[in-house]
Chains A and B, each alone.
Chain A
Amino acid sequence: AQKITQTQPGMFVQEKEAVTLDCTYDTSDQSYGLFWYKQPSSGEMIFLIYQGSYDEQNATEGRYSLNFQKARKSANLVISASQLGDSAMYFCAMRGEDSGAGSYQLTFGKGTKLSVIP
């Protein structure tokens, strides 16, 4: 079984500052993938960034980076230079990949609501 824990129900950040959203996970799979999604108030799920368990480098996508610490089972999302449009719910998710192409379903954390203050 897989489990994702996001311990921050809500976070505030000043515009243009950086913010870290925490995510820890638990899995028995040797190979797995970690994802971050953004969900604005409109409801759509926007894919932000992916980290594979065997990737040696931390993933980066523009202003998003993933601080992957495998030994600590953490996959924190760092958003640099926050913008007002970053205000949203952020979900950490994982997918076990030991079963190969047989299972693509994601397990989600409870989410963190980020509010960017002007």
Chain B
Amino acid sequence: GAVVSQHPSRVICKSGTSVKIECRSLDFQATTMFWYRQFPKQSLMLMATSNEGSKATYEQGVEKDKFLINHASLTLSTLTVTSAHPEDSSFYICSAGGFSPLHFGNGTRLTVT
């Protein structure tokens, strides 16, 4: 069964609103989780590394004030897309795992109208 749960799977929001995406590790503790973004027919691009109890590490070019990451517990990381715009529409997917194959959530398809 799934070891990483991501919710919601699909969300449509209006421009200017904020959207929160949750990523949970189900049967293990994850001190580190990763958030990726995937545009249609493209590869996964790492956005940020979420660290439990500390600030996230963002990749170059990713706006940390727009993509807020909170890793408040060993099993939950959240990504909040603030003041969403149509160009933020994308597939967002999280992953978690230790020194083993990373497991991915099922992804969230965000559409901003």
Contacts and interface: CB of A to CB of B under 8 A. Distances in A.
A50 B101 contact: yes
A47 B106 contact: no
A62 interface: no
Interface residues of A, number: 20
A68 interface: no
A35 B101 contact: yes
Given A43-B93, A108-B44, A101 B109 contact: no
B86 interface: no
B32 A44 contact: no
B44 A91 contact: yes
A21 B64 CA distance: 36
A107 B34 CA distance: 12
Contact of A44 (B44, B49, B99, B104): B104
Interface residues of B, number: 21
A45 B43 contact: no
A80 B72 CA distance: 43
Nearest to B30: A104
B43 A109 contact: yes
Contacts of B93: 43, 45
A104 B102 contact: yes
Interface string A87-118: 00001000001001100111111110000000
Given A43-B93, A91-B43, A111-B43, A105 B101 contact: no
Contact of B107 (A37, A43, A101, A104): A43
Interface in A51-87: none
A97 B95 CA distance: 17
Given A104-B32, A106-B44, 7 more contacts: A35-B101, A43-B106, A44-B106, A45-B44, A45-B95, A101-B98, A106-B95
Interface of A: 35, 37, 42-45, 47, 50, 91, 97, 100-101, 104-111
